[in-house]
Amino acid sequence: MTAPERFRLARERLSRELRRLRSDAELTGTAAARAAGMSQSKLSKIENGMLLPSVADVERLVVELGAAEEVRAELVALAKALHTETDSRRVVLHRGAHRHQQAVGRIEAKATASRFFLLNLVPALLRSEAYQRAVLALVSEDEREAAVAALAARRSVLDDPGKQFVFLLAEGALRWRLGSAQLMREQVEHIAGHLDRPNVRIGVVPWAAGADAVVLHGFHIYDERVVTVSLHTGSATITDPVDVREYLNLFEKLACRAVYGDQLRELLAGIAADYASLVRTDLVPPGPA
């Protein structure tokens, strides 16, 4: 059974069970919807599989419909699973890294406010072409070049004045060498070139800032409705409002630790100078054995 089929069956089961609970409780759709704080039309769409309810919706419904404790827990867990769609990285690479860039681009095109936090990589929209090639070093050359081209097309979203972008990076993301010192120096300077964009805000959390939050991975937030998380073996799309709010709160906490403006220019210049010193070292021929 494929992942889409499993998702469809799980969603149908959730709708069916909520409909059964209402029938067992001998409540009309209007009465059940009123008790759960939603419209009758919304409940009808949920029961007929036309609308995936939020986790909060399910939590209210199972209580108002008098579900047994084990049924409540089961249906809430099912709703949470449905709101976390896992996309295997093997599937992404099989379809093509450039197709992944296009898919993410479609999400960005719909969002008016995009927030990004990265621990050990530069956000895709701020990558130079050389850095992007280094990120995709393990894929075929043809696929790598297609992905670079797709990213270039995706990057045009930054030119839309109606969209706002906030990029937060840990300093370690800029010091994690994915290529030569020269490549990394150029990447740091590439980021500096975006600082004057009116709809782009870039901040870096310095290693000396003493972040008081445990951050397990990077994440992207689109408006206040979608979070995407990249993991080693896959990526997840999170849409549950409660979970999205947790990521928004974490983002704001990290944003308070970052430096911006002139402080950021100074930090970037220092990192670029460090890479420049490594470039000079790399150019010195080895002495006699």
Within 8 A by CB and 6+ apart from 10, the residues are: 78, 81, 82
Q: Kindly state whether residues 38 and 52 are assigned to the same domain.
A: yes
Which of 65, 82, 99 marks a domain boundary? 82
**pLDDT confidence band for 263 (50 / 70 / 90):** very high
Which of 61, 82, 103 marks a domain boundary? 82
User: What tens digit of pLDDT does each residue of 38-51 get?
Assistant: 999 999 999 999 89
Separation between Cα atoms, residue 34 and residue 36, nearest integer Å: 5
Map residue 108 onto helix, strand or coil: helix
Q: Residue 102: inside a domain, yes or no? A: yes
Q: Residue 288: inside a domain, yes or no? A: no
**pLDDT confidence band for 289 (50 / 70 / 90):** very low
Q: Kindly state whether residues 45 and 157 are assigned to the same domain.
A: no
Q: Kindly state whether residues 15 and 95 are assigned to the same domain.
A: no
When divided into structural domains, the chain yields a total of 2
User: What tens digit of pLDDT does each residue of 152-163 get?
Assistant: 888 889 999 999
- The pLDDT of residue 46 is 95
Residues of the domain holding 13: 3-82
pLDDT above 70: percentage of residues in the chain: 89
Separation between Cα atoms, residue 182 and residue 194, nearest integer Å: 19
Dig out the tokens for 278 from the structure: 């490594």
Spatial contact of 242 and 55, defined as CB atoms under 8 Å apart: yes
Q: Kindly state whether residues 273 and 223 are assigned to the same domain.
A: yes
Q: Kindly state whether residues 184 and 256 are assigned to the same domain.
A: yes
Is 90 exceeded by the pLDDT of residue 65?
yes
